[in-house]
Amino acid sequence: MPDASHPPSRQLDVAIVGGGLAGLYAIHRLRSIGLKVRAYEAGSGVGGTWFWNRYPGARCDVESLEYSYSFDDQLQQDWKWPERYGTQPEILKYINHVADRFDLRRDMQLNTRIKSAVFDGTANEWTLVTDGGEQIRARYCVMAAGNLSTPRVPDFKGLSGFKGKWYHSGLWPHEGVDFSGLRVGVIGTGSSGVQMIPLVAAQAKHLTVFQRTANFSLPARNGPMEPERERQHKAEYPARRRAAHDTPFAIAGYPKPTKSAIDALDEERDAAYEAKWQEGGSISYLYAYTDLLVNKASNDTASEFVRNKIRATVKDERTAELLAPKDHPIGTKRLCLDTNYYETYNRPNVSLVDVRSDPIEHITAAGLSLTSGAAFELDAIVFATGFDAMTGALREIDVRTSAGAVLRDHWEGGPLTYLGLMVAGFPNMFVVTGPGSPGVKTQMIASIEQHVDWIADAIDHLGKRQLDRIEPTPKAEIDWVHHVNQVADSTLYPLANSWYMGANIPGKPRVFMPYVGGFDRYKKRCDEVAAHGYEGFSLTRHATVDA
């Protein structure tokens, strides 16, 4: 319960946790319906993911004309993206522009981490406590704390005794890092590792990449924004944004596939994959055929095409085989996009070490050593080892209720939500793009806008009917989690040991967390639920509140 020695300092309608893309839009949208809101952000600036992930090469893997807010047409017309895929500094500049343009900073508090959130059933309000001991009371709480915002450094012995410097991709120093003349080790070959490895290699004296699992990566084919492409996209913006709502990834403009990969002739298939490879981008590739994510035989053809591209690019045969993923179907782990990733392994100053067959045993003063005893001398170690995804940020906050519910306990066997938006037993607490939502499998900003709009409409609905409490029924929550699992089990996704499954964190329950039924199906379901009087939710009036 809140510490009584700190008197409550604020009374809000909605407390928002997080000042990234979701938190910022929540301020704007909830304010627009007359609510008193405030967002709390641990960082010293806005931007969330894009504030923290400043490693070399960090850029979005969704095209910037798509990966941007749609809520204000003038904003999307005015902003100029210099490249096809925005770099981290460019995206952060855009987010800061949005914060200024819509005067969002006045309802935001930086350098403030929320440590606990407690719902008092009698007062019908949440009390949040910050790391500075401030208490915030609010009728509603919106958790916009991110899915990939809890960086994880593996629990290797000896790290504190390492004489060099070490970094995590998700906590990169603002002043940057100069690797010139250094022997650098990068651990991890997910999206972050794949993006940074070519740039670190270009600077370091020697780069050793420690790979546990090879990942599929496709060429991004990044380049300067073509003026005609920009002009046309902007002319069609509202229609494109609407059309995106009817697609699984919330991105329009890709022709819908009509055929199974196994129904195509070999030459036809190779030509189709080659065209997609040349075009660049992951959605285009996965959209080559109807069934790449549901039919293993079809997927095998798409996977093998990329493995052959790797073999054709990487000169050393053993390295090429190590880089060619064989343990999961393409697309079932986040498909990486790169610029010169595989080519980098042809450089004389880059070597690849397989830490699947010979795991890292401990970090030494001079570098690191493997189980076999092989030792590597390093001046710097970069952990591109990922995040406690989807549930990490909420598990770090002590979320509980006066009725005795504790979120960490409720989620002990895996996260439970209804529509990814609310949790049974935790009234008036909303989650943006959390587990059970399609968020991470879509153009994230489209999902953020859809979730926040739904939340704003729900709060508005309550207010107009003199109601003040909403929570999912336990049955609706169980049915949704069951549905999320059923949909996942009808795809190839569960075949991969991914962060979608919690597989990257030792001891985390193996549960498939995102909804992979598609943004289109999900949005339709959310709209129907609202249209039917918030089916599956209990909406009540709590007597003491309006006094």
Interface with ligand N01 includes 491 (CB under 6 A)? no
Interface with ligand N01 includes 334 (CB under 6 A)? yes
Q: Which residue has the tokens 């070999």?
A: 266
Asked whether the beta carbons of 133 and 121 are under 8 A apart, the reply is no
Interface with ligand N01 includes 449 (CB under 6 A)? no
Q: List the one residue from 64, 70, 149, 189 that touches ligand N01 (CB under 6 A).
A: 189
Interface with ligand N01 includes 193 (CB under 6 A)? yes
Q: List the one residue from 121, 154, 164, 257 that touches ligand N01 (CB under 6 A).
A: 154
Which DSSP category does 204 fall into? B
Q: List the one residue from 195, 301, 319, 401 that touches ligand N01 (CB under 6 A).
A: 195
Closest approach, Cβ 107 to ligand N01, in A, equals 28
Q: Which is nearer to ligand N01, 192 or 442 (CB)?
A: 192
SS3 for 279?
helix
Interface with ligand N01 includes 504 (CB under 6 A)? yes
Q: Which is nearer to ligand N01, 301 or 332 (CB)?
A: 332
Helix (H) or strand (E) holding 185: strand 183-187
Interface with ligand N01 includes 212 (CB under 6 A)? yes
Strands (E), 6-113: 10-17, 37-40, 108-109
Interface with ligand N01 includes 188 (CB under 6 A)? yes
Interstrand relation of 125-130 and 114-120 (parallel, antiparallel or unpaired): antiparallel
The encoded tokens of residue 249 equal: 């990834």
Q: Give 166: exposed, middle or buried? Use CB within 10 Å, 0-12, 13-18, 19+.
A: middle
Which of these ranges, 346-354, 380-388, 429-437, 481-489, lies near ligand N01 under the rule CB under 6 A?
380-388
Strand partners for 370: 360
The CA–CA distances, whole Å, from 78 to 32, 64, 529 equal 22, 13, 35
Closest approach, Cβ 293 to ligand N01, in A, equals 16
Q: Which is nearer to ligand N01, 156 or 237 (CB)?
A: 156
Rounded Cα distance, 376 and 333, in Å? 29
Q: Which is nearer to ligand N01, 45 or 154 (CB)?
A: 154
Which of these ranges, 74-82, 297-305, 378-386, 527-535, lies near ligand N01 under the rule CB under 6 A?
378-386
Closest approach, Cβ 387 to ligand N01, in A, equals 6
Q: What letter represents residue 120's amino acid?
A: D
Rounded Cα distance, 81 and 470, in Å? 40
The encoded tokens of residue 365 equal: 């003063």
Interface with ligand N01 includes 87 (CB under 6 A)? no
Which DSSP category does 335 fall into? P
Q: Which is nearer to ligand N01, 192 or 332 (CB)?
A: 192
Closest approach, Cβ 470 to ligand N01, in A, equals 30
Q: Which is nearer to ligand N01, 23 or 439 (CB)?
A: 439
Q: In angstroms, how far is the first alpha carbon of the chain from the final one?
A: 23
Q: List the one residue from 191, 217, 344, 447 that touches ligand N01 (CB under 6 A).
A: 191
Q: Which is nearer to ligand N01, 225 or 360 (CB)?
A: 360
Interface with ligand N01 includes 386 (CB under 6 A)? yes
Residues contacting ligand N01: total by CB under 6 A: 25
Helix (H) or strand (E) holding 392: helix 392-395
Q: Which is nearer to ligand N01, 385 or 442 (CB)?
A: 385
The CA–CA distances, whole Å, from 514 to 37, 54, 329, 430 equal 28, 26, 18, 16
Which of these ranges, 93-101, 104-112, 207-215, 237-245, lies near ligand N01 under the rule CB under 6 A?
207-215
Q: What letter represents residue 141's amino acid?
A: C
Interface with ligand N01 includes 192 (CB under 6 A)? yes
Q: Which is nearer to ligand N01, 171 or 235 (CB)?
A: 171
Closest approach, Cβ 506 to ligand N01, in A, equals 8
Asked whether the beta carbons of 318 and 351 are under 8 A apart, the reply is no
Please choose, from the candidates 152, 164, 227, the residue with its C-alpha nearest in 3D space to the C-alpha of residue 190. 152
Interface with ligand N01 includes 314 (CB under 6 A)? no
Q: List the one residue from 68, 149, 169, 450 that touches ligand N01 (CB under 6 A).
A: 169
Phi first, then psi: what are they for 352, rounded to 5°?
-115, 130
Interface with ligand N01 includes 148 (CB under 6 A)? yes
DSSP-assigned letters across all residues of 401-415? ETTS-BHHHHTTTS-
The encoded tokens of residue 293 equal: 């994510």
Contacts of 55 (CB under 8 A, 6+ apart): 167, 169, 172, 192, 195, 196, 382, 384
Q: Which is nearer to ligand N01, 170 or 436 (CB)?
A: 170
Strand partners for 451: none
Interface with ligand N01 includes 213 (CB under 6 A)? yes
In the complex, residue closest to ligand N01 by CB: 190
Which of these ranges, 251-259, 310-318, 382-390, 414-422, lies near ligand N01 under the rule CB under 6 A?
382-390
| Residues at the site binding ligand N01, with contacts judged by CB under 6 A | 60-61, 148, 154, 169, 187-193, 195, 210, 212-213, 334, 355, 360, 384-387, 499, 504
